[in-house]
């Protein structure tokens, strides 16, 4: 994402001397209702102008300027250049990117054995990151209508980035929360998407067993200047109130939640999503979640207007550890249609059919998927009565 070099936003930059980083403290990014952009964010019609429009928001400027500085200072495991990108031929619209360094340099996943595994302070966690890796703290102004006061969330660089601006959203690390989605963390993820004026800033969550590599509560956020299939894929309602939908199109069927308004509507969505993820966690079912601007549920088109926020939830087979030898590992971005590929050979030979086969191999068997769907519909229906 392009950020003007002449920006006056410098309070999120590290001081010149490394010795001063630890003593600087974490700056607050304070935001209010006026900063949440529900309307007017769309993809430009001219794809050649994707990197230049729309103008960056205050959030985008703060995040990208601080992120760029950390890259220049060498705080990442590798220097992320412009990634070779292609849209795979076919009907899905997979966006594949060659990211060899991430496949080689990323931290090895922890030894995860259960979706409900407790936090272990002896393992790597976000209390152990280097000074300078924290960009800022998201701090919502008190008094936003109809919602609870949001807990502060640290915005931290992902030292093995998928794409430009790849960060982690981490609730207070000292609480030692395991990788189980909580309402406060989801709310921060939704609001981060709304704070960005870039239609391609997305947020996601991997459960344990869903390729989360660190058992310490965090969400991912990153910029991708490409449309993804899930933004406008058609869906059908699963409950009488129309609160839970089934995303029908590939890459993979998923549960769709949608809102186009703040206040009670947003809080209701957060509650519904977290009831669903609580059910999956309690039943030892791995899952991935993706938050993106998108079209309302129903019979939408691939290039529908971005009128609100879509939250897509996939229940999947548990996968503990990284599978070697495959073109990509299936987690939040792959299920949404973004494929970070590990090797040049796989990047040049990958087809839509091969990508679909890898993804569908990670999904639940049909009978179990039907059981999960019935349970989530029942949860939604009971709560709305």
Using CA atoms, how far apart are residues 338 and 330, in angstroms rounded to an integer? 10
Residue tagged 């700056």 (tokens) = 27
Sorted by sequence, the CB contacts under 8 Å of residue 232 that are 6+ apart come out as: 294, 295, 300, 301, 302, 303, 304
- Token duo for residue 301: 């088109």
Q: Could you tell me which of 122, 119, 189, 114 has the C-alpha nearest to residue 150?
A: 189
Catalytic residue among 198, 216, 218, 243: 218
DSSP states of 272-296: HHHHHHHHHHHTT-EEEEEEEEEPP
Contact 290, 333 (CB under 8 A): yes
- Distance set, CA 336 to CA 64, 191, 220, 230 (Å): 23, 19, 14, 6
Report the largest interatomic distance among the alpha carbons of the chain, rounded to a whole angstrom: 60
Give catalytic status of residue 245 as yes or no: no
Which residues make Cβ contacts (< 8 Å) with residue 238, sequence separation at least 6? 244, 245, 246, 255, 373, 376, 377, 380
Backbone φ/ψ region at 352: left (φ over 0), alpha (ψ -120 to 50), beta:
alpha
Write out the catalytic residue numbers: 218
């Amino acid at each position: 994402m392009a950020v003007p070099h002449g920006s006056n936003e410098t309070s999120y930059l590290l001081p010149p001397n490394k010795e001063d980083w630890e003593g600087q403290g974490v700056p607050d990014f304070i935001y209010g209702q006026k900063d949440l952009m529900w309307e007017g964010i769309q993809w430009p019609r001219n794809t050649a102008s994707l990197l230049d429009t729309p103008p960056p928001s205050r959030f985008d400027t703060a995040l990208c300027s601080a992120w760029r500085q950390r890259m220049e200072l060498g705080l990442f495991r590798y220097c992320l250049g412009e990634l070779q990108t292609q849209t795979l031929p076919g009907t899905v619209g997979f966006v594949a990117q060659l990211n060899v360094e991430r496949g080689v340099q990323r931290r090895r996943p922890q030894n995860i054995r259960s979706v409900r595994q407790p936090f272990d302070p002896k393992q790597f966690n976000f209390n152990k990151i280097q000074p300078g890796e924290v960009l800022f703290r998201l701090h919502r102004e008190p008094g936003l209508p109809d919602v609870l006061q949001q807990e502060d969330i640290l915005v931290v660089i992902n030292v093995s980035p998928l794409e430009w601006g790849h960060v982690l959203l981490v609730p207070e690390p000292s609480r030692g929360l395991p990788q189980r989605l909580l309402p406060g963390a989801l709310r921060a993820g939704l609001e981060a998407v709304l704070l960005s004026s870039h239609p391609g800033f997305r947020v996601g969550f991997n459960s344990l067993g869903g390729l989360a590599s660190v058992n310490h509560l965090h969400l991912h956020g990153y910029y991708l200047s490409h449309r993804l299939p899930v933004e406008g894929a058609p869906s059908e309602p699963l409950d009488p109130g129309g609160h839970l939908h089934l995303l029908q199109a590939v890459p993979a069927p998923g549960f769709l939640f949608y809102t186009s308004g703040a206040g009670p509507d947003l809080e209701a969505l957060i509650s519904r999503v977290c009831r669903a993820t609580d059910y999956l966690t309690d039943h030892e079912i791995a899952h991935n979640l993706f938050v993106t601007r998108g079209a309302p549920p129903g019979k939408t088109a691939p290039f529908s207007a971005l009128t609100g926020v879509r939250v897509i939830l996939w229940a999947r087979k548990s996968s503990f550890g990284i599978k070697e030898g495959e073109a990509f590992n299936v987690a939040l971005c792959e299920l949404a249609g973004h494929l970070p590929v590990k090797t040049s050979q796989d990047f040049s030979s990958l087809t839509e059919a091969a990508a679909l086969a890898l993804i569908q191999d990670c999904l639940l068997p049909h009978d179990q998927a039907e059981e999960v769907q019935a349970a989530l519909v029942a949860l939604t229906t009971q709560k709305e009565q």
